[in-house]
Amino acid sequence: MSEKPKFYITTPIYYPSDNLHIGHSYCSTAADTMARFKKQTGYDVFFLTGTDEHGQKIERKAAEAGVTPKAYVDQIVAGIKDLWKLMDVEYDDFIRTTDERHVKAVQKIFRQLYDQGDIYKSEYEGLYCTPCESFWTELQLKDGCCPDCGRPVEKTREESYFFRVSKYQDWLIDYIKTHPDFIQPPSRAAEMLNNFLLPGLQDLCVSRTTLKWGIPVDFDPKHTVYVWIDALTNYINALGYGSDDDSLYRKYWPADIHLVGKEIVRFHTIIWPIMLHALGLPLPRQVFGHGWLVMGGGKMSKSKGNVVDPVKLCNRYSSDAVRYFLMREMPFGADGEFSNEALIRRINSDLANDLGNLVSRSVAMNEKYFGGVIPVPAAYTELDRKLIDMAEGLWEKVEANMNALQFSGALVEIWKLIGECNKYIDLTTPWILAKNEADRPRLGTVLYVLLECTRIVAVLIAPTMPRTPERIFAQIGVTDEAQKTWASVKTFGGLVPGLMVKKGEALFPRIDVARELALLEAEQAAEKEELPAPQDEEKTVFTQKDLCQFEDFEKVQLVVAKVLKCEKVPKADKLLMSTLKVGDTERVVVSGIAKYYTPEEMVGKKVVLLANLAPRKIRGVESHGMLLCAVNADESKLRLLTVDGDMEDGCEIG
């Protein structure tokens, strides 16, 4: 018997954050889906994930929590493992950078690079982003801040060890150009070449003396290994590289795919290959940079208050539904928008309607017309043949998509078959065939075709939705393990006539969208109420003024205006004088808002202007209109009205 080919896939190692959100689950779900697919298609798979536990941020958080860094990360890592269990992310190993095996290997690698002259000691002066644990050059900053997270960077100067990456720059440029599969999608390769490699690499600072929570350089312990050398080598250290037992390393390295988010492609396709090359080791076959799951157009983050908790979603809708949504919603590589509504609509349309209906209708009709016994098919018609050909050819399309990490594409192909099956029910009208005894063989054929297509679908969705296939098999009477394998879907007809179908509960109950969204909103509001109520805020009393007629309101002209300039009105500490742009005109408006806004804050704002208020001189300045504000009873709080979203100045409001 020939040996199975190997397949080694990794996720990044996650920072232990108490704030793991659905975006983090995205990469792990994709890696798990791929690992399952490869196992199903005959590979000997090794799937690695883990946690990246060192660094200043953890040190600081642990101090804030009054515990040691190790105690702090231990409890978070346990939560991360629970999440992967809940989401059926079945890894073969979980490496923690605090593991003894990892620490030893990092020290050995660091020493080897030093001994061979690839690491040298010098002095570092640079710009450091603490939250991202990244050094940046002046040129790489975006508006003076970290290009990844947008937060301020600090100037740091210290004695450091450096990794001579510049020496390998030309080799790497050539490697990337001659190995088009190495960085995927191709746009990310172009980005690496144009933004980082072709402008020239600077040697990389790989140790810090100011950081204590990290791996000490064993031959110079006042230095701690800088986070990226520590983190990246996890992929070989987990396999026992450089240890007494490196059998896994010899079996599985090089990695077939490193799955990483787009913001860390740079580290995986520049620092990591250079490190491996310097160590004389082969490079991973592919680094795939996937996009982000965003909300309201931006990356999820606690500070923006837009994180979505995967635990809640899985408990509410099932892990298979969440996994399906993640893999189906966006092409792998691109960013995709998350919303509760999009998730619920997908569950309803694809899972409850398309898939759920196919299973429940096929099984129910088989019970009704054949007492649950799977019928023997008679001769196939042209219509049957079309569907059968589609079902028999499906695995090839799914494989091609999956091997290119196009999870969404693979699911689209599977759902095409589901759609055709549902159409086939409408075209063959089994309920009419059932009325005529002479049509019984035809009815049996139709139901067999449907059930067999359903079996094929169940096998093919297994990598994405590991729990659903068994639920389908139980209903369509598949008990033989051989009928659940990938090989079994390459020929139509695996389903055994004579066995029994058995109706079960709906695979994915339909969700009432409006009710569910209202419930989610109420839940979020209740969560907010659980927070302590803000102190010393009086209840606002609202008293309605006398009614006005619509004609009165129509006289008022409200427009969007953009603040071009703003300054204090001399000798009037409450007043600001703003120059506004309204369409192709400009005007000055004086407002009593200096206590609440600085002139700098005003510039660039899109505000709501009462444009046809008769001009008035205020402290010697003629004011042409009024800016609308919300203000509380004692005037301790005042906020300007703005428009929701980007509207051109000059737009009418009403």
Which of 7, 8, 15, 508 contacts ligand MSP by CB under 6 A?
15
User: CB 502: neighbour CB atoms within 10 A?
Assistant: 13
Interaction residues for ligand MSP, span 379-408 (CB under 6 A): none
Smallest gap from residue 95 Cβ to ligand MSP (A): 10
Which of 27, 215, 580, 593 contacts ligand MSP by CB under 6 A?
27
Smallest gap from residue 480 Cβ to ligand MSP (A): 39
Residue 153 or 264 having the CB closest to ligand MSP? 264
Which of 12, 214, 242, 466 contacts ligand MSP by CB under 6 A?
12
> Which among 16, 26, 32 is positioned nearest to 79, based on CA atoms?
16
Smallest gap from residue 260 Cβ to ligand MSP (A): 5
Only one residue has tokens 């205020």, namely 618
The H or E element spanning position 361 is: helix 357-370
Q: Is 73 in the site for ligand MSP (CB under 6 A)?
A: no
Q: Which one-letter DSSP state was computed for residue 528? A: H
Only one residue has tokens 């620092």, namely 271
Which of 7, 8, 13, 241 contacts ligand MSP by CB under 6 A?
13
SS3 for 171-199, per residue?
HHHHHHHHCCCCEECHHHHHHHHHHHHCC
- What does the per-residue mask of binding to ligand MSP show for 616-635, with x meaning CB under 6 A? --------------------
How far, in whole angstroms, is CA 597 from its chain's centroid?
37
Which of 7, 8, 14, 288 contacts ligand MSP by CB under 6 A?
14
Smallest gap from residue 458 Cβ to ligand MSP (A): 29
Smallest gap from residue 131 Cβ to ligand MSP (A): 10
DSSP codes, 261-272: EGGGHHIIIIIH
Smallest gap from residue 338 Cβ to ligand MSP (A): 8
Structure-token pair, residue 430:
């089994």
Which of 30, 45, 204, 231 contacts ligand MSP by CB under 6 A?
231
CA distances from 386 to 203, 375, 421, 443 (A): 61, 20, 11, 17
Smallest gap from residue 107 Cβ to ligand MSP (A): 17
Smallest gap from residue 265 Cβ to ligand MSP (A): 9
Binding region for ligand MSP (CB under 6 A) out of 9-17, 425-433, 439-447, 630-638 = 9-17
DSSP codes, 598-618: -HHHHTT-EEEEETTSPPEEE
Number of residues in contact with ligand MSP under rule CB under 6 A: 19
Only one residue has tokens 């409001």, namely 653
User: CB 352: neighbour CB atoms within 10 A?
Assistant: 19
Q: Is 84 in the site for ligand MSP (CB under 6 A)?
A: no
Buried b (16+ CB within 10 A) or exposed e, 508-541: beebeeeebeeeeeeeeeeeeeeeeeeeeeeeee
Residue 225 or 388 having the CB closest to ligand MSP? 225
Q: Is 165 in the site for ligand MSP (CB under 6 A)?
A: no
Interaction residues for ligand MSP, span 241-300 (CB under 6 A): 260-261, 263-264, 292-293, 299-300
Dihedral sign for Cα atoms in the order 601, 607, 611, 614: negative
Which of 205, 232, 278, 589 contacts ligand MSP by CB under 6 A?
232
- The Cα–Cα gap between 447 and 414 comes to 19
Q: Which residues contact 568 (CB under 8 A, 6 or more apart)?
A: 575, 576, 577, 594, 599
Binding region for ligand MSP (CB under 6 A) out of 10-18, 70-78, 551-559, 563-571 = 10-18
Q: Is 480 in the site for ligand MSP (CB under 6 A)?
A: no
Length reported for the chain: 654
User: CB 90: neighbour CB atoms within 10 A?
Assistant: 14
Interaction residues for ligand MSP, span 578-617 (CB under 6 A): none
Q: Is 96 in the site for ligand MSP (CB under 6 A)?
A: no
Smallest gap from residue 442 Cβ to ligand MSP (A): 50
Which of 24, 54, 102, 266 contacts ligand MSP by CB under 6 A?
24
Q: Is 649 in the site for ligand MSP (CB under 6 A)?
A: no
Exposed (0-12), middle (13-18) or buried (19+): which is 8, by Cβ within 10 Å?
buried
8 A C-beta contact, residue 429 and residue 384: no
The residue at minimum Cβ distance from ligand MSP is 261
- The Cα–Cα gap between 527 and 518 comes to 14
Residue 26 or 317 having the CB closest to ligand MSP? 26
Residue 15 or 492 having the CB closest to ligand MSP? 15
Structure-token pair, residue 578:
């703003």
Smallest gap from residue 304 Cβ to ligand MSP (A): 11
Both ends of the chain: CA-CA distance in Å?
77
Interaction residues for ligand MSP, span 299-338 (CB under 6 A): 299-300
Residue 59 or 392 having the CB closest to ligand MSP? 59
Structure-token pair, residue 6:
């190997």
Residues engaged in binding ligand MSP (CB under 6 A):
12-15, 23-24, 26-27, 52, 231-232, 260-261, 263-264, 292-293, 299-300
